[in-house]
């Protein structure tokens, strides 16, 4: 199946001369949840804004369901929904009017039943007649989402949907994303929260300094780049790693009380059996053994750090 969003060799030079995107290519499959991770200024918002037709690209091409986002802007904006980081909402408008208006703006017929369903789902129904200026930050965030959902987009972009929201709202957002996915909506979200990507994404893209460093299935990424660490606590401390164990990648830990062994999870053989046998041969007595797996955070820091 052709990807629902195809980004080809996208570049963006801002008027300041700054190059925010340096030839980004990315295919997004229908129905998937893709998380774009990247530090501040990586180019995430620029990329999303181009796909959504808000910023014009300097080079390259983006198609949504086969339509060019520049030439076929009218068609593509019917398909795409965007929840921006922030938007100046009309302070004197009510919640339900704002959301219903948004549907109209995207050329859809009024559908009060749908608007009610969306407001209820986002716990905004009892605030439907409240003016936006009386809403808390979290509630305004919900309104931004309701506005995007009002026109039933097939592809939804969420730009840092949970930045600065409390834990309860964050969990609610994640559940909402799951429910939307179940209805077939394709979701692309940018986030600084690695936990968020780990929790809800099918695929993860890492973007830094205007370039995509990788895009990978989440599970495969963890497997490919993940490292594991085995820590062996010793009954008696050592002052150095014994010569006979120099063939293993070992470090002394905890003031000589433990030996720390790094191994790749992708490797066919971990070498643990051999290590433990060699330790027994050396007469080293073990007190305890534990393993730790690197998280997506470790992988991310390593990738982005390596670029610096």
Ligand X SMILES: Nc1ncnc2c1ncn2[C@@H]1O[C@H](COP(=O)(O)OP(=O)(O)OP(=O)(O)O)[C@@H](O)[C@H]1O
CB closer to ligand X out of 122 and 207: 207
| Options 7, 34, 42, 212; binder of ligand X; rule CB under 6 A | 42
- The span of 34-42, 57-65, 170-178, 291-299 binding ligand X (CB under 6 A) equals 34-42
Angstrom distance (rounded) from CA 68 to CA 101: 26
Min dist. Cβ of residue 190 to ligand X (A): 6
Phi, psi of 276 (to 5 degrees): -65, -40
- The span of 44-52, 87-95, 114-122, 282-290 binding ligand X (CB under 6 A) equals 44-52
Neighbours of 39 (CB within 10 A): 15
75 close to 53: Cβ distance less than 8 angstroms: no
Min dist. Cβ of residue 40 to ligand X (A): 4
- The span of 11-19, 99-107, 258-266, 290-298 binding ligand X (CB under 6 A) equals 11-19
Q: 3-state DSSP call for residue 174?
A: helix
DSSP line for 28-73: E-TT-EEEEE--TTSSHHHHHHHHTTSS--SEEEEEETTEETTTTH
Min dist. Cβ of residue 22 to ligand X (A): 11
76 close to 67: Cβ distance less than 8 angstroms: yes
46 part of the interface to ligand X, by CB under 6 A: yes
Min dist. Cβ of residue 36 to ligand X (A): 8
Angstrom distance (rounded) from CA 29 to CA 49: 19
Distance of CA 59 to the CA centre of its chain: 25
Contact pattern from residue 143 through residue 162 relative to ligand X, giving x for each residue in contact according to CB under 6 A and a dash for the rest: --------------------
CB closer to ligand X out of 46 and 150: 46
Tell me, by CB under 6 A, how many residues bind ligand X: 12
38 part of the interface to ligand X, by CB under 6 A: yes
CB closer to ligand X out of 43 and 161: 43
41 part of the interface to ligand X, by CB under 6 A: yes
| Options 1, 16, 243, 285; binder of ligand X; rule CB under 6 A | 16
Min dist. Cβ of residue 166 to ligand X (A): 20
| Residue whose tokens read 């995107």 | 21
CB closer to ligand X out of 42 and 83: 42
Angstrom distance (rounded) from CA 176 to CA 230: 38
CB closer to ligand X out of 18 and 101: 18
H or E segment and range at residue 78: helix 73-79
Sheet holding 227-234, edge to edge: 250-253, 258-264, 227-234, 286-293
Q: Which residues bind ligand X (CB under 6 A)?
A: 14, 16, 18, 20, 38, 40-46
């Amino acid at each position: 199946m052709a990807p629902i969003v195809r980004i080809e060799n996208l570049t963006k030079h801002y008027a300041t001369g700054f190059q925010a995107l340096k030839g980004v290519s990315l295919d997004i499959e229908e129905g998937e949840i893709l998380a774009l991770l990247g530090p501040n200024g990586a180019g995430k918002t620029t990329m999303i804004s181009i796909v959504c037709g808000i910023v014009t690209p300097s080079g390259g091409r983006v198609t949504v369901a086969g339509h060019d986002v520049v030439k076929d802007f009218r068609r593509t904006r019917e398909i795409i929904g965007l929840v921006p980081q922030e938007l100046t909402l009309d302070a004197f408008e009510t919640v339900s009017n704002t959301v219903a208006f948004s549907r109209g703006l995207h050329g859809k017929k009024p559908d009060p039943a749908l608007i009610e369903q969306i407001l209820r789902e986002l716990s905004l129904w009892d605030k439907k007649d409240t003016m936006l200026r009386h809403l808390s930050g979290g509630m305004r965030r919900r309104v931004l989402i309701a506005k995007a959902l009002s026109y039933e987009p097939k592809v939804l972009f969420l730009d840092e949907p949970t930045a600065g929201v409390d834990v309860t709202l964050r969990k609610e957002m994640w559940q909402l994303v799951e429910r939307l996915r179940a209805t077939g909506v394709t979701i692309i979200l940018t986030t600084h929260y690695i936990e968020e990507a780990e929790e809800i994404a099918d695929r993860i893209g890492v973007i830094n300094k205007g370039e995509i460093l990788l895009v990978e299935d989440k599970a495969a990424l963890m497997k490919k780049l993940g490292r594991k660490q085995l820590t062996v606590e010793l009954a008696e401390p050592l002052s150095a790693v014994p010569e006979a164990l120099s063939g293993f990648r070992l470090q002394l830990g905890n003031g000589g009380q433990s030996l720390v062994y790094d191994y790749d999870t992708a490797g066919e053989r971990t070498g643990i059996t051999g290590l433990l046998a060699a330790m027994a041969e050396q007469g080293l007595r073990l007190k305890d053994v534990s393993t730790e797996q690197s998280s997506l955070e470790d992988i991310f820091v390593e990738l982005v750090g390596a670029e610096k």
